Amino acid sequence: MGEKTNIRLQIVYDNRALNENFQADWGFSCLVTGLEKSILFDTGANGKILLHNMENLGISPQNIDVVLLSHDHYDHTGGLETLAAKNPRVEVWFPHFFSGPFREKIQAIKTKPVPVEEYQEICPGAFTTGVISGWINEQSLVLSFSKGFILITGCAHPRITRIMEQVREKTQKNLYAVLGGFHLAGFEKNEILEIIQEFKNTGVQKAGPCHCSGDEARKFFLQEYGKDFLDLSAGKEVVFP
């Protein structure tokens, strides 16, 4: 052991903001550092807000190695061009089925395109789930650290519990933490509580519903997880030691 491999997450973009230094806007983006590559998971909706929040988090766009796009919705892909203008060497990992116009955009900004289909390693300790099908197909990010696995989702359109199940199948381990957009707005209380129960039954220690998870879901997750609820918003940093 001895070698420090803390994984640090910085929420760059979210519907809510930590304080007045950060702008809230509908969308999601989270930077992962501490591994061989710095990975920006999604880019929010608006490049200006993305860069503003990055600056106030002390993140330099030039230091990002990989952008992983969860799915083809503007609130996750909208900041890409602005970011790529600051860092044209960034690799863009996107679900392989992305539309022609989106591919043309990637060509135009001259970043390195990496179409993703299957579960695969991005760098040691970081994996994409590959495309998981649902009413909207989506990829999520999986990180490995000393205590287990962390799952970060964009909108979780294929359903959060299904994504979790597929990750458990791949890793053969329980998930330690799950965070990101869970897409539970409009769900009934009972359905939300059932989902939280499944989190608990499958050993999830920390939960951080943000972005499109909905206020109700956030409330119930807080109630059930207490001090292990991750209250995430733009500007928030979480370290997994």
Task: Note whether 102 and 72 are within 8 A (CB).
Answer: yes
Asked if 155 is part of the footprint of Fe ion (rule: CB under 5 A), the reply reads yes
Given the complex with Fe ion, which of 15 and 56 has the nearer CB atom? 15
How many Å apart are CA 50 and CA 28, to the nearest integer? 10
Asked if 16 is part of the footprint of Fe ion (rule: CB under 5 A), the reply reads no
Helices in 109-185 by DSSP H: which ranges?
160-171
Asked if 14 is part of the footprint of Fe ion (rule: CB under 5 A), the reply reads no
Q: Helix, strand or coil for residue 203?
A: coil
- Strand segments (E) across the chain: 7-13, 29-33, 39-41, 66-68, 91-95, 112-116, 120-123, 126-128, 141-145, 148-153, 175-181, 206-210, 237-240
Which residues, numbered 82-141, are part of the site for Fe ion (CB under 5 A)?
none
Who's near 141: CB < 8 A, 6+ residues apart?
32, 39, 41, 68, 70, 126, 127, 128, 129, 151, 152
Mask for 161-200, x = binds Fe ion (CB under 5 A):
----------------------------------------
Asked if 75 is part of the footprint of Fe ion (rule: CB under 5 A), the reply reads yes
Choices 70-78, 94-102, 115-123, 214-222 (CB under 5 A): range interacting with Fe ion = 70-78
Given the complex with Fe ion, which of 71 and 145 has the nearer CB atom? 71
Given the complex with Fe ion, which of 16 and 73 has the nearer CB atom? 73
Q: How far is the CB of 71 from Fe ion (least distance, A)?
A: 6
Please give the structure tokens belonging to residue 112: 């390195």
Given the complex with Fe ion, which of 97 and 121 has the nearer CB atom? 97
Asked if 73 is part of the footprint of Fe ion (rule: CB under 5 A), the reply reads yes
Choices 13-21, 58-66, 74-82, 187-195 (CB under 5 A): range interacting with Fe ion = 74-82
**Residues in binding contact with Fe ion, number by CB under 5 A:** 4
How many Å apart are CA 136 and CA 158, to the nearest integer? 7
Task: Note whether 154 and 28 are within 8 A (CB).
Answer: yes
Asked if 42 is part of the footprint of Fe ion (rule: CB under 5 A), the reply reads no
Helices in 123-233 by DSSP H: which ranges?
160-171, 189-201, 215-225
Which residues, numbered 208-227, are part of the site for Fe ion (CB under 5 A)?
212
Given the complex with Fe ion, which of 136 and 193 has the nearer CB atom? 136
Q: How far is the CB of 228 from Fe ion (least distance, A)?
A: 24
Taking Cα atoms as reference points, which of 215, 144, 223 lies closest to residue 176? 144
Judged by the rule CB under 5 A, the positions of this chain that interact with Fe ion are 73, 75, 155, 212
